[in-house]
Amino acid sequence: MRRALFVLCTLVWASPQARADWRPVLAKEGIEVSQQPVEGRKVPMFRAVGTVAADPDRVLEVLQDVDQHTRWMPELTESRVVRQTEDEIWVYRLQNAPWPVSDRDMVVRSRIQVIDPGKDFRIDFDAVTLDEVPPSRGVIRVSHLHGHYRVQSIAPGRSRVEYEVDVDLGGSLPDWLASQVGRDNPIDTMLGLRAQLARD
């Protein structure tokens, strides 16, 4: 298993004022999703909070295993490391979109902050530009992406996971797809994480 400081696609903290405006929109299988509208964009900021049956260190292993992200992250068709240092990693990601919408890709830089070893950590991620990874023909490059995973131990073998994302997918986006991304992506990501933890 490749251990690397990963980001998705995950996605900078909102301001204290903005964070007060989160609105619950969906609850499923113990996962709660909240959204916050962003002026001028169809896709809102979103946050999902739920629990997983694993210690934080095990969750970190799954999040750092870049090569396996396509197994559990929704609509992700390619995930590979393009650059890595001791403190950060850059990952190329290609997201499938339903026809006739163009696929999206991005280069995501991530870094980990260990708050309490073995009990509490946070992975922050954001989209960046790398000269060695130019945009692909027919694919829209996502340039605005910020977010984080926060994983905290709540009991032996059980952790609370918070997944927060602020993304502008760019290009033309139908209202139904924007709504789907804001509603389903957080749930599907959390359920996928649970499934990958159980699978391994």
DSSP string, 17-69: HHHTT-EEEEEETTEEEEEE--TT-SSPEEEEEEEESS-HHHHHHHHH-GGGH
Measured between alpha carbons, how far is 60 from 2 in angstroms, rounded to an integer? 12
Asked if residues 95 and 77 have their Cβ atoms less than 8 Å apart, the reply is yes
Fold exhibited by the domain 16-199 = Alpha-D-Glucose-1,6-Bisphosphate; Chain A, domain 4 (3.30.530)
Q: How confident is the model at residue 18 (pLDDT cuts 50, 70, 90)?
A: very low
pLDDT in tens, 76-114: 999 999 999 988 999 999 999 887 789 999 999 999 999
pLDDT of residue 20: 57
pLDDT of residue 124: 97
Q: Which amino acid is at 126?
A: D
The residues facing 124 across adjacent strands are: 111, 148
Asked if residues 90 and 130 have their Cβ atoms less than 8 Å apart, the reply is yes
Q: Which amino acid is at 134?
A: P
99 Cα distance to chain centroid: 23
Sorted by where each begins, the domain ranges of the chain are 16-199
Asked if residues 191 and 29 have their Cβ atoms less than 8 Å apart, the reply is yes
Which letter, b or e, does each residue of 87-98 get, where b requires 16 or more Cβ atoms within 10 Å of its Cβ? ebbbbbbbbebe
Tell me the H-state helices in 53-169.
56-64, 69-72
pLDDT of residue 3: 42
Task: Write down the pTM of the prediction.
Answer: 0.85
Q: Is the dihedral angle over the CA atoms 65, 124, 139, 46 positive or is it negative? A: positive
Q: How confident is the model at residue 17 (pLDDT cuts 50, 70, 90)?
A: very low
